[in-house]
Amino acid sequence: MKRDLISIKDLKLEEIEHIFNLTSELKAKVKDFGRSLSGRSLGLIFLKPSLRTRVSFEVGMSHLGGHTVSLTPEETKFGTREAVKDFGSVLSRYLDALVVRTFSHSELEELAGSSDIPVINGLTDLLHPCQALSDLYTIREKKGSLGGINLAFIGDGNNVAHSLLYGCAKLGVNLTVATPGKHKPKEQIFAEALELAKASGAKIVLSDDPSAAAGGADIIYTDVWTSMGQEAQCKKRTRDFQGFQVNQKLVSLAKPDCLVMHCLPAHRGEEITDEVIDGPNSIVFDQAENRMHLQKAILLFLLGGD
């Protein structure tokens, strides 16, 4: 039975642990995985700009012995030239898996439902599971474990925040999402995270006070205030998020060994200062590197190459 990766919510706890352990093996090169996906093909469909997701999947697939096929929006006219279900049915005859970055989450779900091959969510307006899984792996790598870690997400209640809500709730990470009232995460996702947290004991909190969220934090995490597709709202969002910048004053409220994360790209001087992103607490670029290691583990998990 084929598996997709559309949302962290769909993964069992033991599956996440397996992916994390596999990531560590891949990163440490304790085993030669170089021919694990030999002869396999991974399709890449990106309707939004991408640096880390696209390059890390493309290079990662190459490391595993497979190859990628990039399908541009201009070539495919995804969602307009032909029915999404026809698109999925055809590509299932050619490829072994698909990574899709698109706007509409429901469109991605429709594609996954019509495909006989694994479909991986490379980002939608609703969720960014590969990012959040990599982030949580990075925290475990740096801190030694995840249980009881206090993570403060300061900024927009966006797709990254949504996926972190699911991931933290499953893995026992205490998460405070501090955001202006108009920009909270979706109520349904927050409610689902609270339900998931009952099993792990994680404390999931919403706040409109970034200073309170940063107090006692092991991790401070931020993201851009204006995501892809929201450019017309940039000036208004910049006003809305005044006081939510991750700067040295805010970081000083956290634990002395607090680590700072950002999924990138960063708008330096807006949601985060140069002093912080380039400072000793920052693990932003280690975090970016781990995207490739973890996504290789996802490919092996979904395609049976581990």
Q: Around 237, how many Cα atoms within 13 Å sit in the side-chain half-sphere?
A: 21
Q: What is the pLDDT of residues 7-58, one digit of tens each?
A: 999 999 999 999 999 999 999 997 899 999 999 999 999 998 899 999 999 9
Q: Which amino acid is at 86?
A: D
User: In the predicted model, what is the mean pLDDT of residues 121-147?
Assistant: 98
Q: What is the pLDDT of residue 79?
A: 66
Lowest mean pLDDT, pick from 9-13, 173-177, 222-226? 222-226
DSSP classification of residue 3: -
User: In the predicted model, what is the mean pLDDT of residues 196-215?
Assistant: 98
Whether 287 is catalytic? no
For the chain, the structural domain boundaries read: 8-127+291-303, 129-287
Whether 291 is catalytic? yes
Answer for the pair 48, 123: CB distance below 8 angstroms, yes or no.
yes
Are both 8-127+291-303 and 129-287 of the same fold?
yes
Whether 135 is catalytic? no
Q: What is the pLDDT of residue 228?
A: 66
Which residue among the candidates 128, 183, 237, 262 is catalytic per the annotation?
128
Lowest mean pLDDT, pick from 73-77, 243-247, 292-296? 73-77
Whether 101 is catalytic? yes
Which residue among the candidates 52, 96, 130, 131 is catalytic per the annotation?
131
Q: Please give the model's pTM, rounded to 2 decimal places.
A: 0.96
Considering only the top CATH level, what class is 8-127+291-303? Answer: alpha beta
Angstrom distance (rounded) from CA 39 to CA 17: 27
Q: What is the pLDDT of residue 107?
A: 93
CATH fold of the domain at 129-287: Rossmann fold (3.40.50)
Which residue among the candidates 40, 52, 101, 140 is catalytic per the annotation?
101
Whether 131 is catalytic? yes
Instruction: Please identify which residue in the block is written with the tokens 């085993």.
Output: 31
Whether 223 is catalytic? yes
Question: DSSP letters along the chain, please?
Answer: ----BS-GGGS-HHHHHHHHHHHHHHHHT-S--TTTTTT-EEEEEESS--SHHHHHHHHHHHHTT-EEEEE-HHHH-TTTSS-HHHHHHHHHHH-SEEEEE-S-HHHHHHHHHH-SS-EEE---SS--HHHHHHHHHHHHHHHS--TT-EEEEES---HHHHHHHHHHHHHT-EEEEE--GGGPPPHHHHHHHHHHHHHHT--EEEES-HHHHHTT-SEEEE--SS-TT-GGGHHHHHHHTTT--B-HHHHTTS-TT-EEEE-S---BTTTB-HHHHTSTTB-HHHHHHHHHHHHHHHHHHHHT--
Between the alpha carbon of residue 274 and those of residues 56, 92, 242, 290, the distances in Å are 25, 45, 17, 22
Which residue among the candidates 162, 183, 237, 291 is catalytic per the annotation?
291
- To the nearest 10 degrees (0 to 180), the angle between helices 284-303 and 52-63 is 50
Q: What percent of the chain has pLDDT over 70?
A: 99
Q: What is the mean pLDDT of the chain?
A: 95
Q: What is the pLDDT of residues 95-132, one digit of tens each?
A: 999 999 999 999 999 999 999 999 999 999 999 999 99
Which residue among the candidates 96, 262, 263, 295 is catalytic per the annotation?
263
